[in-house]
Structure 1
Amino acid sequence: MKKEIAFVSDGSVTTPIGFLAAGVHCGIKANGKKDLALIYSERPCIAAGTFTTNKMKAAPVIVTQENLRPAQASIKAIVANSGIANSCTGKQGIMDARETCDLVAKALNILPEQVVVASTGRIGIRLPMDKIAQGITEAAKKLSSAGGIDAAHAIMTTDTFPKYGAVKFKLNQTTIHIGGIAKGAGMIAPKMATMLCFVTTDADITKTCLKKALSNAVEVTFNSITVDGDTSTNDMVVLLANGAAKNERINNVSSDSYRLFEEALTMLLRHFAQAIARDGEGSTKFIEITVKGAVTEQEAKAIGLTVANSNLVKCSLFGGDPNIGRIAAAIGRAPARLSAEKVSVWINDTCVMRDGTIIEFDRERLRSQLKSSPNVFIQIDLALGKASWTVWTCDLTYDYVRLNAEYEI
């Protein structure tokens, strides 16, 4: 089915029919960069979301979960600010998040409960509600079908580039679009969601199918990346569907149309997940780790993420050092079944361990590869079963330490 799905050139959250967006500077960021995004659907949307598993949930996460909870929830807008997280701000933070929904509702003539609210940035600081109000008013006036990329810029914090994209595919003779924007570069180790990601589609699809597709897609994409092992208080992925494509409704999770929709959604979210790993704070290398031959997929994933979260492995790869012992040690401490004498490892196209033993290989050639290439591919074969999983991460550099020692947005 993959050949039926294509990326849309310069696609974004406004590629699906009936979605508008804007990104403006409301005054949170002192550098004058955009810091407030607004997304609006001309038609009511059904919605699905996944959220941080961090127990210190930020106020906007709590309010958005409240707005999405009713079975008949109808969403028409998303508002997100960057620069301040509105996290660990107590009851006042909840009030500020709800007031933000009220401001959007007034500007767009909708109900407050039809608004998804999100924030990202420094924790422990209250939102400047006068600036938020001014920004919402300005963004509402600037909403357009060309505003998706501005919205992507407006949710950035330490990101070095905006993350946006869209895919399209046909159901019978009807073209369906799925588009989105995302942000993330640090505090990336999600357990259920990740950073911020807002996705839209013009597909006509039931809420049951929408929720299942998002849950499945997030598990193999955003839940399979890590930059630094920290899970944010503000993570959320929200998917809106407005039905504007007027396709035959997707209402059966066993149908070919559902499977194609989930595949297209996964393709787009993988694009975002890999972009976030590539943009890891201070990183110089994108690292893909594939574990195969595991007993279960969850055990394969556990080994992949244990290697990906190893500071020693990440530092070695930054330095161009093929330190196989560090990879082996990470494999061995993962919560998964393995037989040490069966484990084999490849870095790029070089086998460095066979049947549990580090073997002779052209160390200088591999070192040269690691130093010169921005991409590293690690394959681990446990030779126990048929399950596999792929995770993505980046190296750990001097600049990561500097950025987080001097953190300021």
Structure 2
Amino acid sequence: MSATELTRVSEPAERAADTEPVARPTFLDRIRSEWTVRRVGGVLAPAIIYLGIRELSLLVLTWMSAVTDVSMVDKLRSWDGWWFYYIAAAGYGNVPSTLRDANGDYSSATPMAFFPGYPTAARWLAGIDGPGGIGVLTAAFTVTIVSGVLCAYGLARLGRQIRGGSRRVGLVLVALFAASPMAIVLSMAYSEAMFCALAVWSLVGVLERRWVLAGVCCGLAGLVRPTAAALVLAVGLAVLVAVVTRRDGWRPWVGGVLAPVGLIGYLAWVGAQLGAWNAWFTVQQNGWNSGFDGGVATWDFAVEVLTGVRREAYEFATIGLIIVALVLAVICVVRRVEWPLLVYGIGVLTMDLASSGLMNSKIRLMVPAFTLLIPIAINLAKRRTSTMVLTLCGLAVASAWFGAYAITAWSYAI
């Protein structure tokens, strides 16, 4: 047989081999290749870091509760937690008169000092399974935990979007927030976790120019805490800049309209119920002696602590942490943190320090000012991993002890 004939005989065999079907990867094969252990860990990292630090705090609280002979569950729903619980369970009109304001008084208007977003979410969750569902208290704690995790993912994303940010910065920011001095409130039946979750995602919307997201989250935050005024200011100014510079079409307009709806809506509702436009502020002033005084009460408190008139460890810590917060605000300005984040953080701090009321709550009210932690997060992220981890672990332990001390050994409201 000639060479030509051999070639002709082999050609069909080669073509047949070329056309044989190649085994395609199955769906499970693709899942295995895409969702490696490392990638799954990366996706879960914000939740793992946040929940790990919060669990450490609860373990220390368990120990402190045993030492001081108090119920840990009762402490986690104490003070404002009781108000939220009864509002969720029975509504504003059925809160028992055994609950008292800071002056030991009660009226039908007193519960209106507490915004409806958090107790409403707890009531809805408790009612999912009908009368025999999970219960209002369990629902309230669930809302707190889920909100904290959502906030962690928002902080991780925010850390990637800021100037000098990265995935590492975002995760450090999550850890710093979870280990902030009064982060115990993020495990209580309080509204801080829910508010912070909405606030951070609103700020993410601003940085990413997703104006509808920013407006919706800001509007909902206005139903959760009065601190939303600082968020409305930050989002509103960012919207104004976008409108003036004619960016992003109609979306900034929608975001700007939605942003103040929750806050203004609730204040208007209280005003309509009580017959005065400033009724909510009156309830706050009469019940908790809380009002804007430009910082006079805070200054007087600081003088009393620093001159020895007050000698409690918690009060010394309050002044120390106020000073730290003010220093961080200055550093944020110097480091040129994105101005909407700066407006929000300084706004929260100003609302806290420039108002009268319970001085013991000053540290807790600074928890939502998480944007002031950004310079620390950026700086820590640049350090060696061992240095970063040891620092964060130390802060987590200190936060766990301080939070447990604040709601067990400390005798007053936080």
- Give the TM-score, by structure 1 length: 0.22
Larger RCO of the pair (alpha carbons < 8 Å, separation 6+): 2
Scaled by the length of structure 2, the TM-score of the pair is: 0.22
Larger strand share, 1 or 2: 1
Q: Which has the larger radius of gyration?
A: 2
More helix per residue: 1 or 2? 2
